[in-house]
Chains A and B, each alone.
Chain A
Amino acid sequence: MTWSEMALVVLGALAVGLLLAWRGAYRVDRLHRKVAASRIALDAQLVRRASSAVELAASGTLDPASAVLVADAAYTASDAGPVTSPAAALKMDGLGPARERAESGLTATLREAMGGPEAVRALLEGPAGEVVTGLADAWYRATLARRFHNEAVAQARRVRRLWYVRLFWLAGRTPMPRTVELDDALPHALEPSGG
């Protein structure tokens, strides 16, 4: 092989590498963006849900014990660090164990406090119907948002494992995205058009 042939091979390899790097960078960037954005959307719905829960606790339609527990769980969830600063918004390593535990706790408490389908129906038709509707609305959207977010995380992780993405360090210093794992199952009676 002559020098010029060698040079040609090297140039070819460089071009392929460059192309891969460019495509990889584009994909990683798009997926990181998607992860961050879907996490912000999820956070917003969880915050909405917590504030509706506080309203529900204050409405006087729950029994006092349930009201205290719901309010406590809701405050714990909102104290566990909703996204406030732009830097926090762009983090992508899940919501953190404390927040996830608190949100799961709120879910469990709400499910217990609202009782079975009959009780939920009564709540919906009662004076706090609007609040419960708002709660269900935010809750359902949070379940959607979490699915979409975890989907984005899975895709981002898959792409970041590609050899050329690792070789060219295309993900930079961004931490590996993590899925958000929490219990957000809606009570059957609050499911859209269910019950």
Chain B
Amino acid sequence: MRVVRRRSHRALRVGLVCPYSFDAPGGVQFHVRDLAEALQAAGHEVSVLAPSSEDTELPGVVTAAGRAVPVPYNGSVARLTFGPLTATRVRRWLEGGIGGHPFDIVHLHEPMVPSLSMLALWQATEPVVATFHTSQVRSRALQVAYPLVRQSLEKIAARIAVSEDARRTLVDHLGGDAVVIPNGVYTQVFASSPRRPEWTGTPGAPTIAFLGRLDEPRKGLAVLLQAVPTILDHVPGTRFLVAGRGGGVAAEVRELLGEHASSVEFLGGVTDAEKAELLASADLYVAPQTGGESFGIVLVEAMSAGSVVVASDLGAFQRVLDDGAAGALFHNGDPAHLATTVLTLLADSARRDSYQAHAADWVQRFDWSGVTEQVLAVYDMTLAADHAIGGDVVRRVMGLFPRQVGGDP
């Protein structure tokens, strides 16, 4: 049931800014791409600004803002784009709008990540909406730069957090509040995905799927692998389908598992369609992530596809699984408990069915149709506030002069 119907909006010109490169797939990039698509489907005009190298094939609406360089930031390596040339590109994009008409709304993603979004916020004179994705730990660098960004942050008319966890991070680190609008998923794409016979389990040989980078410890592959022997002791036919990039890990794992190695199949990187097929085919989807997750979009995708989710009991996962009503939770980082949970589920088809039934209903709240309406309601309120006093006088005066890089006086 959906109550917040879209009122007859006029068509908006929306500029979306993504700080991370489209060269490498990632949650924020997918979100921006899907949001752009959903907004277009609702009849709005969209232009996306994102870092990308020239040879990457981009969806038509995306403007490439130049190559992203891998830089160490906040404890890991991020592909970001910055510098004076980029600032100029951002300014040109903002000035260009869509077809020569200025944007009605500029929607920035992760404005606190030192990349395109931060630069766009710095220079934007349009009404700004910002979405915060991560539950990020406060960095010392950000504290140094904070007085510089704080003024820009005041330009944000509406803040969105993608989850309760992301919102809490925001409240703790930046102060102020945000409305929670979850990440969207095209649930129908997953629900209607075909199965692959070779990935579909049988009662004697159930299949368990894992998705995520293999070489990133916090994705928790190690936890799953430690649970493998126990699971195989009870259900010898079980097959583990491990999808995700990460060089060199596969060989290492085969050595580690010895006799059990043949039960673990490495699929490598998968396409979107293959991912949907995998989630639709597998009996169980295991999400053993040990931390750093603010939402858990794959869990929603798995639920939409009809596989039963077994996830670590991170705060974000608890919420995305409706406190364990839409999927099973195990103690974070505890392979023994993971094995017990998996074995209980494999033995109890009634419980699997009840999880599936609840999940099918529950995921509707993450469907793009509803999520887009909520985002449009935010745009609506932002514009209402902007129009209420005839927009920004300073902006109109500034309009007589060329926009300076730096935006603020």
How far is A27 from B153 in the complex, measured between Cα atoms in Å? 11
Contact B4 A140 (CB under 8 A): yes
How far is A90 from B390 in the complex, measured between Cα atoms in Å? 13
How far is A192 from B155 in the complex, measured between Cα atoms in Å? 27
How far is A151 from B177 in the complex, measured between Cα atoms in Å? 6
Q: How far is the CB of A111 from chain B (nearest CB, A)?
A: 15
- Is B84 an interface residue when CB atoms closer than 8 A count as contact? no
Contact B384 A41 (CB under 8 A): yes
B297-335: contact bitstring with A at CB < 8 Å (1 yes, 0 no)?
A: 000000000000000000000000000000000000000
Give which listed residue, B3, B385, B394, contacts A137 with CB less than 8 A. B3
Which residues of chain A have C-beta atoms less than 8 A from B374's C-beta?
A: 140, 192-193
How far is A13 from B3 in the complex, measured between Cα atoms in Å? 59
Q: Which one of B10-18, B100-108, B271-279, B364-372 is at the A interface?
A: B364-372
Q: How far is the CB of A28 from chain B (nearest CB, A)?
A: 10
Interface residues of B in 343-389 (CB under 8 A from A): 364-365, 367, 369-371, 373-374, 377-378, 380-382, 384-386, 388-389
How far is A44 from B389 in the complex, measured between Cα atoms in Å? 13
Give which listed residue, A26, A45, A89, A195, contacts B409 with CB less than 8 A. A26
Interface residues of B in 128-157 (CB under 8 A from A): 151, 154-155, 157
Contact A193 B370 (CB under 8 A): yes
Give which listed residue, A40, A133, A136, contacts B388 with CB less than 8 A. A40
How far is A84 from B154 in the complex, measured between Cα atoms in Å? 28
Contact A137 B154 (CB under 8 A): no
- Is B158 an interface residue when CB atoms closer than 8 A count as contact? yes
Contact A31 B154 (CB under 8 A): yes
Q: How far is the CB of B397 from chain A (nearest CB, A)?
A: 11
Query: Given A145-B381, A148-B382, A192-B4, do A155 and B389 touch, yes or no (CB 8 Å)?
Result: no
- Is B221 an interface residue when CB atoms closer than 8 A count as contact? no
Give which listed residue, A40, A89, A136, A151, contacts B3 with CB less than 8 A. A136
Q: Find the B residue at minimum CB distance from A83.
A: B388
Q: Find the B residue at minimum CB distance from A43.
A: B388
How far is A192 from B3 in the complex, measured between Cα atoms in Å? 6
Q: How far is the CB of B9 from chain A (nearest CB, A)?
A: 12
Which residues of chain A have C-beta atoms less than 8 A from B394's C-beta?
A: 26, 29-30
- Is A121 an interface residue when CB atoms closer than 8 A count as contact? yes
A36, A90, A144, A150 — which one has the most chain B CB atoms within 10 A of its CB? A144
- Is A169 an interface residue when CB atoms closer than 8 A count as contact? no
Q: How far is the CB of B196 from chain A (nearest CB, A)?
A: 31
- Is A168 an interface residue when CB atoms closer than 8 A count as contact? no
Contact B409 A141 (CB under 8 A): no
Q: How far is the CB of A146 from chain B (nearest CB, A)?
A: 10
- Is B77 an interface residue when CB atoms closer than 8 A count as contact? no
Interface residues of A in 112-136 (CB under 8 A from B): 121, 124, 132-133, 136
Which residues of chain A have C-beta atoms less than 8 A from B7's C-beta?
A: 137
How far is A38 from B158 in the complex, measured between Cα atoms in Å? 10
How far is A89 from B4 in the complex, measured between Cα atoms in Å? 27
- Is B1 an interface residue when CB atoms closer than 8 A count as contact? yes
- Is A175 an interface residue when CB atoms closer than 8 A count as contact? no
A45, A147, A190 — which one has the most chain B CB atoms within 10 A of its CB? A147
- A-B contacts, 11 of them at CB < 8 A, read A23-B408, A23-B409, A41-B381, A41-B385, A133-B5, A144-B378, A148-B385, A192-B2, A192-B3, A192-B370, A194-B1
3 closest residue pairs by CB, A with B = A193-B370, A40-B388, A136-B3
